[in-house]
Structures are given as structure tokens and as C-alpha cells.
Amino acid sequence: MSETLTKLKSHLQQVTDLQNAAAVLYWDLEVMMPEGGAAPRARQLSTLSRIAHEMATSDELGTLIDAAERELAGADYDSDDAALLRVARHDFDEATRLPTDFVAEFTKLTAESHEVWAQARAEDNFSHFAPYLERILEMTMRRAEYLGYTDHPYDALINTYERGMTAAEVKRIFDAHKPALIDLIGQIGEVEGRVSNKPVHQHFDTSKQREFALWVVEQFGFDFKRGRQDVSVHPFCTNFSRYDVRLTTRFHDDFLNPALFGLMHESGHGMYEQGSAPEIDGLPLAGGTSLGVHESQSRMWENIVGRSKPFWSWAYPRLQQTFPAQLGSVSLEDFWRAVNTVERQFIRVEADEATYNLHIMLRFELECDMVSGKVAVNDLPREWNGRFESYLGVTPPNDKEGVLQDVHWSGGMIGYFPTYALGNLLSVQYFNAALKQHPNLHDEFAVGKFDTLRKWLVENIHRHGRKFTSQELTARITGGQIDPSPYVDYLQTKYREVYGL
Amino acid sequence: MSETLTKLKSHLQQVTDLQNAAAVLYWDLEVMMPEGGAAPRARQLSTLSRIAHEMATSDELGTLIDAAERELAGADYDSDDAALLRVARHDFDEATRLPTDFVAEFTKLTAESHEVWAQARAEDNFSHFAPYLERILEMTMRRAEYLGYTDHPYDALINTYERGMTAAEVKRIFDAHKPALIDLIGQIGEVEGRVSNKPVHQHFDTSKQREFALWVVEQFGFDFKRGRQDVSVHPFCTNFSRYDVRLTTRFHDDFLNPALFGLMHESGHGMYEQGSAPEIDGLPLAGGTSLGVHESQSRMWENIVGRSKPFWSWAYPRLQQTFPAQLGSVSLEDFWRAVNTVERQFIRVEADEATYNLHIMLRFELECDMVSGKVAVNDLPREWNGRFESYLGVTPPNDKEGVLQDVHWSGGMIGYFPTYALGNLLSVQYFNAALKQHPNLHDEFAVGKFDTLRKWLVENIHRHGRKFTSQELTARITGGQIDPSPYVDYLQTKYREVYGL
């Protein structure tokens, strides 16, 4: 390895070490920290991220990247070194385009806005949050200018979360399946009484829930020698290397789904990180390539595997043994239908597979309209409710179950939402590609065998880390681009059976 | 505040933030981390400590300290600013005196030596460890030269752990109470059958042990809103600010003492950190001033309070209710004697109050003799066993229960041991000073009231952080210097009653 490349890797590894150290402090804050520790912890995290940012934007790093680009000109695109350099260049340019003062001001504004939003939501008072959202929007526009774009400022925003994605591409994808989803939900709405979710709404001892859910994700292939599971208020997955991946869960003693499907979901994120190649661990090339691809993994294990009938034909007897009083007399068929209930809910995080993407489309459209000035902040509640009604046939009774429900805008994360929907679409595209090579996957699920799927994911997605963007990965796997029709087919097939459409 | 002082504080706070972040990663490593995470965690810790070291030795910091010293010349010695500057100067000089290459080499050597020592101890094979100890000794001598000293190279070593302490002073203190301890242990040895430790050697459910021990330390005044307790292989206390203090415990289901007295001990360390003044939190002035003073706090709560009869006259009924089958028919008197049993054990960490300091004296003498070349590494096992026999009247059956038992030398921590013994002595000196102002302390313990003592400790010791050295603190509190006679009096009085001497 050349001296330049050695120095570059050493520098990047130190930046990654600092970011991973910050991730440990954040995990501890959410899962372990006593309440008194908040203020000093915020300061420690701020110091770590400031030093990491300094190192990630230093002239020294810029010079090393320049030199490495000259050395590696013409190198194999798929090689680890060429890919590391692409990622390093992208991260460096993105980090250096934003002035330090701007980043500090935006961080301060979003910290304040988060508090204000939380209060506004609790009090169902949008006007309290509106002036903060206006300032966030104004700074977000400046952020887009700093980052740069060709067609639409929104391109610069979504690019932070889904590299290479554009507003036009998202619009094409969303427009191509919105009518089918509205139609499907309409059909289900006419026969919604056919399926009951009562089986999952009973008293379930949380320690038994935990035992069962941990067993499931261990069977999926999550490696507990390189990870652990804990309780937190908001479930998440974080990692400090491929060797240390942390999942968190929230338990409800009167509702089975949040912990069980939540842990399957987080284990999908976690297996992605665990599957990153050992050779790139500790470098910025390691880990998930985009939020959309990450979500494709969590949704695949949660929904395509975890809500499938073959899976439950294997797992349900054990769940019945775990909760004989609650489920002893509920048939497999009824239980499977219960976990696949479709409901026109107001809250995105509680949405089912059929309605989820509509919740996202609504947000994407409003974000585009805000950024291009078509919708004013003060008009958001009315716009929200009107579109919600037209997509889902119901109107939110208040703003806290409407426009105020999500944390993202208060955190300055405009451009983030589409990745959830893209993840749903990709989960089916990728799964279908695996199924093409391994047509027996469903039969395997029915006997508790998941390693064919997991190994396929490691080989085709996980091990690459950030080597390929989501579009490149999708082209390699499917030969095409992100396409919503497999997802629509998947939903139609499933709900035809669940609801007898 | 002047610009210089503002800049100095900001710089020092960032160094402290990095050190505290490293402490979080270390706590997580010991308490939470899955086994696979070890290698990346070591790298993350190494990056954090390297950057902290760079910032702690930077020319920029040196210039700020110089400038602040000119500004604050003549400032009140007791003021926070003057004290912070003294501490900053001391830390800067100590850190800059050691060449970076030397520190890296020593870190590497001790990491290797630790592995070798652990294997040598497991196999009871001193000759395996000896060549590593020789290299550690050689580098330790160089370390003393780098750090500088007036009389004895050992002064430079102990100074790292107990600022201002010298080998001559330790020798004076140890010589002044060694004969009394040997005499006391001899007297007890003649009547050792009078006391049985059987009550504490029974089966005790560990979750009940935990519940009781947590209740005790909460009554002592450890603030669980600013701290928590977890399980680890080796018990320790760490903190990331005065607002986040972590205690760890090891539970044995057949022996009550390790968890119960261990947690009292760690809570003493923890309350010291929690009592540090809010104004200095996040600065290097915060936290315990020396290992000796730290140990005085842990030993005070563990022994002077936790092994006292007034304490048990209050706590024992609850312990009996917790373990009725085990303790229902054991009298308070017999239980109190059981937790005060004196045994001539080979292992320091299991030693009681009477024998503990002799274990330390043995190590201190050998360390001085090694450093001054009077004892060769290969002669250590023979020297160890000979001295052990003369102090405690028994000879270790092998090296793993003798010279190989402690981790310190493999970690390069020569000069550390005396602080344990100084802590024992100081615990009684400080407690007696508190007792002089509050003669009813024992009566208060007998009704479960501990805040008079804890507040006295906060006022006289904790709040100062590192403002005063252990000698300065001792002079402020007692009007004199570190003196072993109160400790000897305390032991004689206690064991007269326990053993009916």
C-alpha cells in the first residue's frame, strides 16, 4: 500500500473512531444514563463531533484525498481502495461545503426547535412551532445552496440521506404507485370487518415477549456475540463496528406488535451492519450505504419474512406455548391475519404495509412545496389534513395526530422521509431477486431456516458497505432501477389472501 | 473573566470531555460490550486517548498556562481559578515530560505484559512473567528520570498517584505502625477461634443481595438520579461528571461480603465524585484529589460506618428479614463479629482491616528495593514469601497466591500500592475530625441517619475537587500530617471488642 493511502486510511480511521465513540455515548444516553447526566453528556458529544468535524474537513485530509485520486486514477471501480476514495471524497466535499458557523447555528436552532416542537405537540399547538419551522426552512434553503444541486434544491437535501437520489426520481416512483395504493386501501376499507386484530391486543408479559422476540431474531441470524438488545423509549439500532451492534426495543404489556415486529425490524438494520466486510471495518466505507437500503433490510425481516404465513406456520406453535391463555384458541390463520391488519391510522409509525407509503408521499409533497415556496408554513395544517383525507379517506382530529406528529422537521431533517418509502419498495425488489436464485425461501422459513436469505443479503448487499450507492446496488441486483410495481404486486397478493379480496 | 482564562478553561474542558468520553467507552467495555467488540473498542479508546494527550500537551495550552500564571500571580491560593491553574500546570508538566514515543512504547509493553501476567498467574509460573517485569522495571526507571525527583526515583512514581508524596514519607508512616499491626494480628491469632465467619458464608440469593445493598448505599446518600449500579467482573467506580457516577459490583451467591461491602466501598468513591462542586464540573479541577484520599472515602463507608456496630444495630433487622432462613437465628453480636473476622489470608483484595496495610507494606518495600536495585526481579518470589511469613506468620503456598496475585506491576503501576494503605489511615483521621464536630455520629448511624457525616465530607473534602493535595487537605482538616496512630487506635479498640482481647 502506498504511503499516501496508508496515511489516508489512518486519518479516516481516526475520524471513524471518534464518530463511533460518539455513537457509544449516544447509545448510553438513550439506554443507560441516569437522568442527571444530560447536560455534561451533551457537552461531551458536542466536543467529540466538533473534533471529528475538524478532522473530517482538515486541509491535511483534502491534500491526502487529492494525492490518492492521482495515484488511484484508473483503478478498478469495484476495488475497496477505489470505493473508499469515492466515499472519502463525497464525505469531505459535503462536510467542507457547509461553513462551520452555519453548522453551529443550525445545530443550535434544531436543538431549541426540538424542545419547542415537543411542547407544541403535547399542547396540540402548531402556531407555537411555526416560527421555528420557518427559521429551519430558511436555513435548510441556505443549506441546499451550500451543498449545491442541478435541478431542484430538494435534490441537495435528499442526497444527504440517499446519495444520488433526486426529487424528480422520487416523484416518478411515488406517482407510479400512489393510485394503486389508494385503490387497494379503498377495497380493503369495504371489507375491513373480515379481519380482527384482537389477538395481538391482549395482556402479554413483557419478559416473555422479550424471550420470544430474542429467540426469533437469533434464528434470523442476528449474532449476539457481536451485539446486544436493550430497552429504550424510542427503538433504534446503532453500532460502533461490525463487531458491536446494539438493538433497542420498547415493550407494551397490552400489545404484542411493537416489541416483536420492532425487534425483527431493528435486527434487519443490525444484520446489515454485522454483514459489512471485515476488511473495511473501522473505515468510512463500512456500514449501510443509504437510509433507503438500510430500511429495505429492516422491512424485509419485519414484513416480508416476519409477517409471512410460512414464518408463522413455524413460529406460531412456540408463541402459543409462550402465551397459552392468550393464543391457545387462536388459529394460525387468524393470528396471521391479525398481524396483517390494515387500518387507516393517523400516525405514520403505527402504519401498516398498505398505508405506510401514502403517509410518506404526503410528507414528500409538502416538503417539496415548502422548499419551492408553494406552501407557506402557516398553511401546513390545512394542507396536511386535506391531502390525508384524499389519500386515506379520514381526517386527523388534531395537529398532534397530524402535522405535528413527527420529530424530523424540528431536527432539520427535511429530505429524510422518502427513504422510508424507498426502503419498502427495495425490500420487495431485493427479496424477489433472492427468490429468483433460491426459489425455496418460503419453504425454508416454514421450517425455521433463514440462513439462505441472510447469506444472500450478505453476499449481495451487506458486505459491500458503502461501495455502491442505492441505485448502483439496485442495478447490480435487479438489472434495473428502483421500481414500485413489485411492491404493489406483493401487497395485492398478500391482501387478496388476508382480506379475501 | 479574562480572555486568557476563558480560552484556557475552554481548552481544558475539551480535554476533560475527551477523557470522560473515554471513561464511558471503558465502562461500556467492562459492563455492557458484547465479546466481539473488544478489538475495535481498543482502537477507539486509543484514538481518544491519543487526541486527548495531543491536546493536553499542545504548545497552545502551554502558552495559555504561561499567560494565565502571569495574570493570576498573587491570586488567592484557595480560589477556584488559582487552584485550576495549579492543577493545569501540574498535569501539563507531567504530560509533556514524557516523550510521546516513550508513552506509546510503555503502553504497548504493558498491554503485552498484562496478557503474559494473566497467563503466568493462571499457570503459577513466575519465570514466564519475569522478563516482562524486568522490561517494565527498566522503563519505569526511565519514566522516573523523565518525570524528575529530588531524593529517590520512587518519589516520581508515587507522585503520579499521590501528588506531593515521597518514598521517605511513606516509609516514615509505614514504619510507625507496622509493629503495632504485627502485634495486633499476633494477639488475634491466639484467640481466632472466638469468632466465626460462618454467618456470611451461606447461600444468599443475589437479587436479594442487590436489593439490600442498593438500599444501604442509597441511605448513605449515594444519589441514583446522578448514578447507577451494574455488574462487572472486577468492581469499580467511574464517572463522566458529578452528574453521572457509575458503581459496579460482583455478586457471589455463597458469600455476602463481596457485593455488600464492595458496594458500600464503591459508593464511598462515588459520593466523593458526586460531591465535587458544580462550579468546577467538566474541568480538570473536578473529582478526587488523589488515590489515597479517594480510598479514605471508600474505606470510611465500607469499614468505619459499614462494619460498625451502630450501623448494624439499625440495618441488621432488615437484613434478617431479607434472609430469614440464613440469619433469623444469628444474633446481631455474632453477625457483627462475623463481618469483622481477621484472617491471615494470602490475597490482598480479600484482606481485612487489620492485615490490609501489611500486605501493602510488603509491596512498597519490594518496589523500593526493585527501583533501587537491591532486589532482582528473579528474587522476588523468595523475597515475597519471606517477608509475608515474617509479617503475617504464614507462607503463600505458590506464586499465584503470592507475588503474581496483583495486576498492578503488569500494568506498569509501580508506586500505586501505598495509596491503599494511606487511604485506610486517612479514613480514620478524617472520621475522627468529623466526630469531633459531630460527637453523635454513631448514634445517628444507629437510627439510619448518615447525612451529617456525608455533608461534613462534602464540605471539608468532596467539594474541593483537586484544589488541595492530600497533605494540604489533611493539614486543613486535622492541623497535622498523615498519621497512622489514629488508625491503630481504631483497630485496637474494635478488635478488643470483637475478639475480647
Sheet holding A227-231, edge to edge: A227-231, A244-249, A237-241
Cβ contact A204:A322 at 8 Å? no
Other Cβ atoms within 10 Å of B3 Cβ, number: 9
Instruction: Count the helix, strand and coil residues of chain A and give each as a percent rounded to the nearest 5.
Output: 70, 5, 30
| pLDDT bracket for residue B143 (50, 70, 90) | very high
Contact (CB<8Å) B17/A227:
no
**Closest residue on chain B to A48 (Cα):** B18
From the list A278, A250, A291, the residue with the least C-alpha distance to A163 is A291
**Strand, coil or helix: what is A455?**
helix
Burial classification of residue B410, based on how many CB atoms lie within 10 Å of its CB (0-12 exposed, 13-18 middle, 19 or more buried)? buried
d(CA A428, CA A491): 10
pLDDT confidence band for B100 (50 / 70 / 90):
confident
pLDDT by residue (tens digit) across A101-121?
898 899 889 989 999 999 999
For residue A195, CA distances in Å to A90, A188, A199, A328, A353 come to: 49, 10, 11, 18, 15
Q: Which of A38, A48, A243 sits opposite B40 (nearest CB)?
A: A243
What class, spelled out in words, does domain A196-345+419-474 have in CATH?
mainly alpha
Phi, psi of B230 (to 5 degrees): -140, 180
Q: How confident is the model at residue A1 (pLDDT cuts 50, 70, 90)?
A: confident
Bridge partners (DSSP) of residue B247 are: B229, B237
Q: How far is CA B172 from CA B162, B167, B469, B481, in A?
A: 16, 9, 19, 12
- pLDDT confidence bin for A4, thresholds 50/70/90: very high
- Where on the phi/psi map is residue B500: left (φ > 0), alpha (ψ -120 to 50), or beta? left
| pLDDT band at residue B492 using 50, 70 and 90 as cut-offs | very high
DSSP string, A46-105: HHHHHHHHHHHT-HHHHHHHHHHHHHTTT--TTSHHHHHHHHHHHHHHHHHHS-HHHHHH
Q: In this structure, what is the dihedral angle of CA atoms A154, A159, A165, A167, given to the nearest 10 degrees? A: -10
B101: pLDDT strictly greater than 90: no
**Per-residue cell: B161:** 498517584
Distance of alpha carbon B450 from alpha carbon B442, whole angstroms = 9
B197-345+425-499 belongs to CATH 2.160.20.10:
no
Q: Which stretches of A98-205 are DSSP H helices?
A: 100-123, 126-147, 153-159, 167-175, 178-190
| Radius of gyration (C-alpha) of chain A in whole angstroms | 23
CB B233 within 8 A of CB B30: yes
Phi then psi for A244, rounded to 5 degrees?
A: -150, 95
Q: With contacts defined as CB-CB under 8 Å, which chain A residues touch B24?
A: 24-25, 28, 44
Q: Write down the H helix ranges in A192-306.
A: 206-220, 257-274, 291-299
Cell numbers representing residue B219 in the block: 441511605
Q: How confident is the model at residue B1 (pLDDT cuts 50, 70, 90)?
A: confident
Cell numbers placing A338: 391479525
Confidence at residue B104, expressed as pLDDT on a 0 to 100 scale: 86
The CA-based angle B445-B448-B454, given to 5 degrees, is 65
CA distances, B378 to each of A7, B111, B322, B429 (Å): 43, 21, 50, 39
Q: Cα distance from A44 to chain B (closest Cα, Å)?
A: 5
Q: Is A243 on the interface with B (CB under 8 A)?
A: yes
Query: Does pLDDT of A348 surpass 90?
Result: yes
Q: Is the pLDDT score of A294 beyond 90?
A: yes
- Could B224 and A48 be called an inter-chain contact, meaning their C-beta atoms sit closer than 8 Å? no
Inform me whether the pLDDT recorded for A355 exceeds 80.
yes
Q: Locate B109 and state its grid cell.
A: 509493553
- Distance from C-alpha of A142 to C-alpha of B208, rounded to nearest angstrom: 59
- Site of grid cell 479517594: B294
CA distance A374 to A372: 6
**CB contact at 8 A, B372 and B364:** no
* CB-based contact, A44 to chain B, within 8 Å: yes
Listed by start position, the domains of chain B span: 3-97, 197-345+425-499
**Is B108 touching A (CB cutoff 8 A)?**
no
For residue A205, give the C-alpha cell: 408479559
Q: Cβ of A40 under 8 Å from any chain B Cβ?
A: yes
Q: What is the pLDDT of residue A352?
A: 96
Query: Left (φ > 0), alpha (ψ -120 to 50) or beta: where does A374 sit?
Result: alpha
Yes or no, beta carbons of B47 and A14 under 8 Å apart: yes
- Strand ranges in B39-174 using DSSP code E only, listed in sequence order: none
Q: Closest chain A residue to B40 measured between Cα atoms?
A: A241
CA distance, residue B51 to nearest chain A CA (Å): 9
Q: Which amino acid is at B53?
A: H
CA A326/CA A253 separation, integer angstroms: 12
Please count the other Cβ atoms lying within 10 Å of the Cβ belonging to residue A207: 9
Q: What's the rounded mean pLDDT across residues B165-169?
A: 96
Which of B17, B24, B40 lies at the smallest CB-CB distance from A281? B40
Bridge partners of residue B318, in order along the sequence: none
Average pLDDT of B433-460? 98
Residues in B closer than 8 angstroms to A22, CB to CB, are 21
- Tell which residue, A420, A377, A438, has the closest CA to residue A126: A377
At residue A100 the predicted structure's pLDDT band, cuts being 50, 70 and 90, is confident
Residue with cell 442495478: A475
Q: What pLDDT does residue B210 have? A: 98
Of the ranges A121-130, A287-296, A451-460, B109-118, which one carries the lowest mean pLDDT score?
B109-118
pLDDT classification of A473: cutoffs 50, 70, 90: very high
- Distance, CA of B490 to CA of B432 (rounded, Å): 10
Task: Copy the grid coordinates of residue A190.
Answer: 369495504
**Known catalytic membership, residue A266:** yes
CA distances to A463, B374, B425, B428 from B421, in Å = 54, 23, 6, 12
What are the catalytic residues of B? 266
Distance CA B77, CA B80 (A): 8
- pLDDT cut 70: percent of chain A above it: 100
DSSP string, B395-409: --SSSTTTTTS-STG
Would you state the pLDDT for residue B201? 98
| Shortest Cα distance, chain B CAs vs residue A41, angstroms | 8
- Between residues 203 and 242 of chain A, which touch chain B (CB distance below 8 Å)? 223-228, 240-241
Express each pLDDT in B247-296 by its tens digit: 999 999 999 999 999 999 999 999 999 999 999 999 999 999 999 999 99
Whole-number Cα distances in Å, B326 to B200, B207, B256, B331 = 9, 15, 11, 11
Report whether pLDDT(A28) > 90.
yes
Name, in order, each residue with C-beta under 8 angstroms of A341's C-beta and a sequence gap of 6 or more: A195, A196, A197, A352
Q: Closest Cα partner for A234 from A221, A220, A251? A: A251
Cβ–Cβ contact B44 with A under 8 A:
yes
Secondary structure (DSSP) of B203-235: ---HHHHHHHHHHHHHHHT--GGGEEEEE-SS-
Judge whether residue A71 has pLDDT over 80.
yes
Taking alpha carbons only, the member of B346, B384, B381, B399 closest to residue B125 is B399
User: Which pTM was predicted?
Assistant: 0.95
Quick check: A330 pLDDT over 90?
A: yes
Look at B44 and A17 and tell me if their CB atoms are within 8 Å: yes
Residue type, B469: T
**Among B34, B47, B48, whose Cβ lies nearest the Cβ of A224?**
B34
Does A10 contact B at CB distance below 8 Å? no
Q: Does B147 touch chain A (CB under 8 A)?
A: no
pLDDT of residue B199: 98
Among chain A residues, the shortest Cα distance to B228 is held by: A34
Shortest alpha-carbon distance between residue A25 and chain B (Å):
7
Which residue is it, cell 402535522? A403
Mean pLDDT taken over chain B: 96
B17 Cβ under 8 Å from any chain A Cβ: yes
Backbone angles phi, psi at B152, to 5 degrees: -135, 135
pLDDT at residue B312 in the model: 98
Beta-bridge partners for B239: B245
DSSP string, A423-447: HHHHHHHHHHHHHHH-TTHHHHHTT
